[in-house]
Amino acid sequence: MATFKDLDEFFDDSLRLPVGGRTYVIPAPDAEVGLLCQRLMNAGIAAEAGEAVDGEELTKLAAVVLDDDQEQDLYKRILGPVYDELFTDGLTWPKIQHIGTTALIWVAAGTDAAVKFWSTSGEAPAPNRATRRAAAARSTRSRGSATGTTRTTASRSKAATKSPGTTS
């Protein structure tokens, strides 16, 4: 019978980011922060894709818009003890933001996405087709059609004027 090795023997749930000759080790956040990061990422992808959102989704998006204090608090929550180290070491705010955003992406979308962002000048890369499709699959679809098809205006007016019991 197969047995599982202890996860702690091979799984590293921290993020290591090199800055100025030093490597900062960011510990994995707790589940609450992890879920918040995923909500933020999903909201950003939906907004970038220009998706129409219903009232419930709009409320969720509004709840994750951050002012400056909330952004700083989010970085503290994501980076944990490393946040204070960055200030003690004299890093500039833009670098701290880049580190914090990289950690946010790592938590929400994984290491590969974080590596892509880390190597940019601070601009998030546009989501790829697979990411957009995954976000669309998570969004709420209207109840109009189970297949996702829509009627054109012409077909709607034809259907509305057709008499009962006739076929087209």
Taking only the tens of pLDDT, the chain with its 168 residues reads 889 999 988 888 999 999 999 999 999 999 988 988 888 888 777 767 777 544 455 555 555 556 677 777 888 999 999 999 999 999 999 999 999 999 999 999 999 999 999 998 755 555 555 555 555 554 444 444 444 444 444 444 444 444 445 454
* Distance in angstroms (rounded) separating the CA atoms of residues 151 and 6: 54
Beta-carbon contacts of residue 162 (< 8 Å; ≥ 6 apart)? 168
Residues 6+ apart with CB under 8 A from 24: 16, 17, 18, 82, 85, 86, 99
For residue 105, give the nearest of 6, 13, 38, 32 by alpha carbon.
Answer: 38
Distance from C-alpha of 2 to C-alpha of 57, rounded to nearest angstrom: 44
Please state the domain extents for the chain. Answer: 12-136
pTM: 0.61
Instruction: Say what the pLDDT of residue 8 is.
Output: 87
